Amino acid sequence: MKTKQLKLLVGLVLGFASAGWVTVVSATTMPLRQEQPANQDDESEKSAKQQIDEIIATFETRMTEFSKEYRSASEEDRQKIIDEKLPKASDYSGRLMELAKQHADDPAAVDALSWVFSRGRGDEASNEALEILLRDHVENEKLKDIVLMMSFGNPSQKIQDSIKRIINESPHHSVQGIATYGLAQFYSRVNQYQGLLDDPRIANSLAEEDLQYIEDFKLDPSQHEALYQTIVDQYGDVEYRNRTLGKLAGGALFEIQYLSIGKQVPDIEGADLDGEAFKLSDYRGKVVVIDFWGDW
């Protein structure tokens, strides 16, 4: 009877194993089954999207794990955790680039290229991904997910030209709008960099041609203002991250028109700490320090 039971148990275990189940069996009845290497044909049977999604999901999972460990670590251990466990986009971008090239006509290729560009901004793979996106996918609506990212990072002639190309060649109203807003933001960033070039850390971080571009850059404030006004007038209804470009550009436009150096600030009316009514214009011609504060 015991022999029959043992045979039955072994038969059931083998049956589950052949069906793909992972079964833990006592060492007294059967040794643990060692994990077999994945069949190389498995990858070829997956679609490009499945393979790309899996690579990106793996990175995101490891990034989440890293973040949890980093937050729970002591200050003295955090640098070690960064050095040893921070996931590097470069470890994933090579395979994503390979898949994007192998499946150039697959819509998922844009997802892979966009990820490589946004995660590795400025490195060789990122630059190559951007070149392929502009060469083969400039009319793809998904470019709206990365075009604003182009305005971040070190300014360059190449980035300016890339954003302008998307504005001119994309057939999608939303992409044109976000790209136009990105261009306006890019110009603001170049202006910021011009005020930072005295810092050797900033200047030394720039390629020579990018440094020259920033030094030579000139944009009349009225042109910058007109660009934001175009966004409000033509692309104000375009949504971006739960807001509209109209609101985003409107805020920037208000800053240019009223809060820039040399501009007349809008009047403010209120009550002082003693309850007396006052207006900011009452102090015109005097040095005024305004402190906005609140108690929540």
100 and 162 together in one domain:
no
| Among candidate residues 137, 171, 192, the one where a domain is terminated | 137
What does pLDDT average to over the chain?
Answer: 84
What does each C-alpha distance from 200 to 153, 191, 192, 197, 215 come to in angstroms?
A: 17, 17, 15, 7, 14
For residue 42, name the pLDDT band (cuts at 50, 70, 90). low
Q: Do 153 and 263 share a structural domain? A: yes
What does pTM read for this prediction? 0.73
Is 161 found in the same domain as 237? yes
Average pLDDT over residues 248-262: 85
Q: 179 and 260 in one domain?
A: yes
> Measured between alpha carbons, how far is 104 from 112 in angstroms, rounded to an integer?
10
Question: What total of structural domains would you count in the chain?
Answer: 2
Tell me if 152 is assigned to some domain: yes
Residue 296: the pLDDT is 65
Domain identity same for 55 and 118: yes
pLDDT of residue 14 exceeding 90, the answer is no
**Assigned domain for 210 exists:** yes
* Domain membership flag for residue 17: no
Long-range contacts, 260-266 (Cβ 8 Å, 24+): 260/221
| 13 located within any domain | no
% of the chain residues with pLDDT over 90:
64
Q: Evaluate if residue 28 carries a pLDDT over 60.
A: no
In this structure, is residue 25 part of a structural domain?
no
137 φ, ψ to 5°?
-135, 25
Same domain membership, residue 253 and residue 172: yes
Residue 6 lies in a domain: no
Tokens linked to 14? 């083998």
Would you state the structure tokens that stand for residue 291, as one six-digit string? 């402190």
Whether 41 maps to a domain, the answer reads no
Whether residue 153 lies inside any domain: the answer is yes
**Top-confidence residue, 41 or 49:** 49
Please tell me the predicted confidence (pLDDT) of residue 290.
77
**What DSSP letter does each residue of 161-206 carry, written as one string?**
HHHHHHHHH---HHHHHHHHHHHHHHHHHHHHHHTTTTSHHHHHTS
Q: Which residues constitute the domain of residue 166?
A: 146-268
Q: Mark which of 117, 137, 157 sits at the end of a domain.
A: 137
- Name the maximum alpha-carbon separation found in the chain: 105
Is the confidence at residue 98, as pLDDT, over 80? Answer: yes
Question: In this structure, are 224 and 250 located in the same domain?
Answer: yes
Same-domain check for residues 59 and 107: yes
133 and 151 housed in the same domain:
no
Q: How far apart are CA 68 and CA 65, in angstroms?
A: 5
Tell whether 102 and 165 lie within a shared domain. no
